[in-house]
């Protein structure tokens, strides 16, 4: 079952973000606090949204965290999927697909024309999963990022 996250889900979402960072071999980069997540997801002006995959018993076993993007070429919003994570013990049970299906449903319902995300190039099982759903890599684009010192230097000019 997939459901929208509620405020009381913040601790489990935070825990799964930490698990995802461990899986991606960068636990030191997952610095967001529960309070930051609570504000981003449920504050006065939410910046992001989340869904949970839950078992019949109500246990959260996966999540998606996303925000709206905008295409100047298409003139409409899209969804950028920041994180998709399913706990290792239940992978292969359809939870990841169900989370993506829910985001695709939202796109179709709202007239959004894109559902996009990034995946690490070494994560071959996940790439195979995405491609089996019909997703295709955007090889002509490279992701760039400014953080920490470079961001501060450019922003301080």
Bridge partners of 76? 71
Helix (H, G, I), strand (E, B) or coil at 86: strand
- Distance CA(65)–CA(95), nearest Å, equals 14
- Distance CA(71)–CA(61), nearest Å, equals 32
Catalytic residue among 80, 85, 130, 144: 130
Residues 144, 119 contacting (CB under 8 angstroms): no
Does 130 qualify as catalytic in the annotation?
Answer: yes
Residues 103, 81 contacting (CB under 8 angstroms): yes
Active site residues: 130
């Amino acid at each position: 079952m997939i459901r929208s996250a509620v405020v009381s889900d913040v601790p489990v979402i935070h825990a799964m973000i930490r698990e995802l960072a461990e899986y991606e071999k960068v636990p030191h980069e997952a610095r967001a606090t529960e309070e930051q997540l609570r504000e981003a997801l449920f504050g006065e002006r939410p910046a992001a949204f989340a869904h949970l995959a839950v078992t019949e018993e109500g246990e959260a076993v996966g999540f998606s965290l996303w925000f709206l993007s905008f295409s100047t070429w298409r003139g409409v919003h899209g969804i950028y999927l920041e994180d998709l994570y399913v706990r290792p013990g239940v992978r292969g049970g359809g939870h990841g697909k169900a989370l993506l299906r829910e985001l695709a449903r939202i796109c179709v319902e709202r007239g959004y024309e894109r559902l996009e995300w990034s995946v690490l190039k070494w994560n071959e099982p996940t790439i195979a999963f995405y491609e089996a759903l019909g997703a295709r890599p955007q090889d002509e684009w490279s992701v760039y990022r400014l953080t920490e010192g470079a961001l501060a230097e450019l922003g301080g000019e």
